[in-house]
Amino acid sequence: MFGFRGMSSKPKILEVFDLTAGYAGVPVLKNLSFSIDQGEIFVVLGGSGCGKSTLLKHLIGLYTPISGEILIKGRSMVRADLSEKREMMRGFGVLYQSGALFNSFTFAENVALPLEELTKFSPGKIAKIVKEKLGLVGLSGFENTMPYEASGGMRKRAGLARAMALDPEILFFDEPSAGLDPVNAAKLDLLILDIREKLGTTMVIVTHELDSIYAIADRAMMLDGESGCAIAFGNPRELRETSSDPRVIAFLNRAGLAR
């Protein structure tokens, strides 16, 4: 089946079968099937309006698909009841495009929030975890910084620290480089690679930023806005050189369709 790799010996952490997704019964994406290996950095790419964010919202359980199946470590996200779905969602961390930090909370308070809401850890243990996560993203010493006092890059890193607070097995990123200058975008790419190297975390990244795609992706899936289907799977550098689809070639070579 297009999108699946039969040769990989790594366990599948996320599998999607014949997914049709949209809003109010109107499809945006049609008949998607793909799988993601444990520890893989999997990038969903495509032009604006192709359904990247729609797919992300369905993968993390915010919306129920029109049809099809989403499996997390073999368990159905679609058929799970509310308590099962919440349990599965606790294994996810999400870095939203804006960082989605609470401006009235310090960095440390933002990272502590999911630990306070979803665990029974003592204040001392929460403080230790917060310090650890902020250190992991290069923000040691900035625990008391307010989001409005920080640069865009620092806010993204603090948002990433919060996304990792519960030690998720899968990290989802929605346009992580959006709003960053090229230097900070490159630093974030290196941080993503470093976290995967240290923790082995699976990452699913929605983006159209080619520099990031080439820097971090093990494998990519390209969506086409007109058909609502996936039109390419593979390593993006290899796709750039070998794809026979003019839409893929145009996108990956910035030939007018990269935005």
How far is residue 56's CA from residue 54's CA, in Å, rounded to a whole number? Answer: 5
For residue 88, which amino acid is it? Answer: M
How far is residue 238's CA from residue 130's CA, in Å, rounded to a whole number? Answer: 39
pTM of the full structure? 0.90
Q: What is the pLDDT along the chain (259 residues), one digit of tens a residue?
A: 344 444 456 899 999 999 999 999 899 999 999 999 999 999 999 988 899 999 999 999 999 999 999 999 999 999 999 999 999 999 999 998 766 899 999 999 999 999 999 999 999 999 999 999 999 999 999 999 999 999 988 999 999 999 999 999 999 999 998 888 899 899 999 999 999 999 999 999 999 889 999 999 999 999 999 999 999 999 999 999 999 999 999 999 875 443 3
For residue 81, which amino acid is it? Answer: D
SS3 state of residue 243: coil
